[in-house]
Amino acid sequence: MGSERMEMRKRQMSTTQETPGAAQAPLSAGNRGSNACCFCWCCCCSCSCLTVRNQDEERARRTSHELQAEGIPNCEESPAPTLEEVNAWAQSFDKLMLTPAGRNAFREFLRTEFSEENMLFWMACEELKQESNKSVIEEKARLIYEDYISILSPKEVSLDSRVREVINRNMLEPSQHTFDDAQLQIYTLMHRDSYPRFMNSAIYKDLLQSLSEKSIEA
């Protein structure tokens, strides 16, 4: 009897010692499970940490976009367009692009279509053509390439492989005409693709209506 009592007491003591560890095990497992996505290789779609991570990435993208917007050059200085001038824009794309007011209005429209880089590239090429200093030409050509030709640029314009090859050859010795082929291709793209939509846009129609009403009042 004595030996049996001692055996039972040992078993009770052993059970009592194991109980705290057993009680802590589910708690540890529960803690680990609630943060499993932070430490293990698997992530579920409903994971709160994944949601936070996505929010951080979205915030970073928004900040990057705002910084890019700050770097966009201001519109060209020009007097307010006349009714006659705005009517002429509908006659041809060349007449629209001929005046600063026309380019500003068209550029405003391109911004709504997220393709303003086409106009910015075209304007940068026009500016390059006005340069005569070799060092300035080389620097501006490099900047144009980095801003609008490089595949790493967020403002990269759409060019075919042939034109890109021409540009890469021209960049070995930059000149005022390094981007002539590319400029023509982008000009044609804006003419065929964006210009018809601009003529039917609220930006153009509202401007035309406003000037027409002012003309009648005068």
Residue range 107-129, pLDDT digits in tens = 999 999 999 999 999 999 999 99
* H or E, element range at 214: helix 202-217
- Under-50 pLDDT residues of the chain: 2-3, 16-72
Note whether 83 and 169 are within 8 A (CB): no
* pTM, entire model: 0.66
- Answer whether 90's CB lies under 8 Å from 138's CB: no
- The Cβ-side half-sphere exposure at 132, using a 13 Å CA radius, reads 0
The C-alpha atoms of residue 191 and residue 149 are separated, in whole angstroms, by 20
> 104 near 81, Cβ under 8 Å?
no
Which tokens hold the place of 121? Answer: 């590239």
What pLDDT was estimated at residue 9?
A: 55
Give per-residue pLDDT as tens, 46-85.
444 434 344 444 443 433 333 343 444 567 888 899 999 9
Predicted pLDDT of residue 43: 41
User: Cβ neighbours of residue 76 under 8 Å, at least 6 residues apart?
Assistant: 100, 103, 104
210/67 Cα distance (integer angstroms): 33
